Structure 1
Amino acid sequence: MAKAPALTSRADDFPRWYQDLITKAELADNGPVRGTMVIRPYPGTCPRTAGRNWSGRPPGVPPPA
């Protein structure tokens, strides 16, 4: 099985590293106009879902008496 290409080093080329990261995570695609990105619709669902599922207390901490 072929290895997935590694990300460009952040210290060597930050803009290329950012583009590689966004592409590999499938958060956005390059837009039709140079320098633009089209954000995929699902990245925003994670914070909303986490907010609904989180009680506001770290695990193991009992509610106030």
Structure 2
Amino acid sequence: MTRMMHLQALKHPNRPHYEWSGERLEQNDEYVMVLCQPGRKLIHHTKKSVFIMDNTSLELFF
């Protein structure tokens, strides 16, 4: 199983808002933990822009 995953945040009603990628560190029935490294692209659909993120983030999705 690949550890890289594509993430997408949606706006109501299911319209794309943000997209980015990260490395899945842990996944179970309660949450998914994702590590996002500097240099990743954040696609901002609402602003029709692409940003390069220069920070590390640890993201937890329930």
Instruction: Give the TM-score normalised by structure 2.
Output: 0.26
User: Which structure carries more relative contact order (alpha carbon 8 Å, separation 6+)?
Assistant: 2
If you compute each CA radius of gyration, which structure gives the higher value, 1 or 2? 1
Query: TM-score, normalization: structure 1?
Result: 0.25
Larger % of strand: which? 2
Higher helix share: 1
